[in-house]
């Protein structure tokens, strides 16, 4: 296949061979990413951090989402020998987010919201990434979106949508969502449901929910 100058065939057959070559190189690329990631694991087992990081970078560049996430988290937290670089972290989060990783979608959305890592602060862009993360089941994203739709931050205000997002996250036992839902019901003068969700959040250890529940109920938990 590599000595293409020696191949003299009809155009129809040539197209078939080109298609086969494309498949071959795609498989080769996938194997190369897998190989690089496997090498990073071996390097980690040996305690060779520099080699691990090099192989992770190769795997990430070739599309391995696991490597992209490890690189993003590592550079955000300083896990690679204490080296923190939010700009590099943001770049890897973006790649993983584009590949469909839900946690990366949430985290990159947060970078967009705050303008961290050299990413332009853009609430609309952040909401778009949180929407993707929410669709993929990330409760933090649902809660953040609920706040955005409730207050009209980066999106048009929509209380019904905010309520539904809070309910989704709250039923998933997300404490902040339970607190926010309780606050929302209180603002709508639905004391019974407000107390229900505030108590749920308070029982899970949410201090603001505990304080508000006690104020609203006139009793101590």
Tokens read off for 34: 């897998």
pLDDT classification of 186: cutoffs 50, 70, 90: very high
Give the model's confidence band at 131: pLDDT under 50 very low, under 70 low, under 90 confident, else very high. Answer: very high
Contact yes or no for 171/137 (Cβ under 8 A): no
If you compute the radius of gyration of the chain from its CA atoms, what whole number of angstroms results? 24
pTM: 0.82
DSSP state of 155: S
pLDDT value of position 218: 86
The helix/strand/coil state of 156 is coil
Tens digits of residue pLDDT in 55-106? 999 999 999 999 999 999 999 999 999 999 999 999 999 999 999 999 999 9
CATH homologous superfamily of domain 142-221? Tetratricopeptide repeat domain (1.25.40.10)
Q: What is the pLDDT of residues 133-160, one digit of tens each?
A: 999 999 999 999 999 999 999 999 999 9
């Amino acid at each position: 296949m590599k000595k293409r100058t020696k191949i003299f065939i009809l155009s129809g057959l040539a197209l078939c061979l080109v298609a086969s070559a494309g498949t071959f190189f795609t498989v080769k690329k996938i194997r190369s990413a897998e190989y690089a990631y496997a090498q990073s694991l071996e390097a980690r087992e040996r305690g060779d951090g520099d080699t691990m990081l090099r192989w992770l970078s190769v795997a990430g560049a070739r599309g391995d989402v696991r490597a992209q996430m490890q690189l993003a988290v590592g550079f955000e937290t300083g896990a690679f020998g204490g080296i923190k670089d939010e700009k590099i972290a943001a770049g890897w989060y973006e790649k993983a987010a584009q590949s469909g990783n839900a946690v990366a979608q949430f985290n990159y959305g947060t970078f967009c919201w705050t303008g961290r890592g050299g990413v332009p602060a853009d609430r609309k862009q952040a909401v778009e990434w949180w929407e993707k993360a929410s669709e993929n089941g990330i409760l933090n994203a649902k809660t953040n979106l609920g706040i955005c739709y409730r207050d009209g931050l980066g999106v048009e205000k929509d209380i019904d949508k905010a309520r539904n997002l809070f309910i989704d996250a709250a039923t998933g036992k997300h404490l902040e969502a339970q607190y926010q839902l309780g606050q929302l019901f209180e603002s709508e003068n639905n004391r019974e449901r407000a107390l229900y969700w505030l108590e749920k959040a308070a029982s899970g250890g949410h201090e603001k929910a505990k304080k508000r529940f006690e104020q609203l109920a006139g009793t101590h938990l």
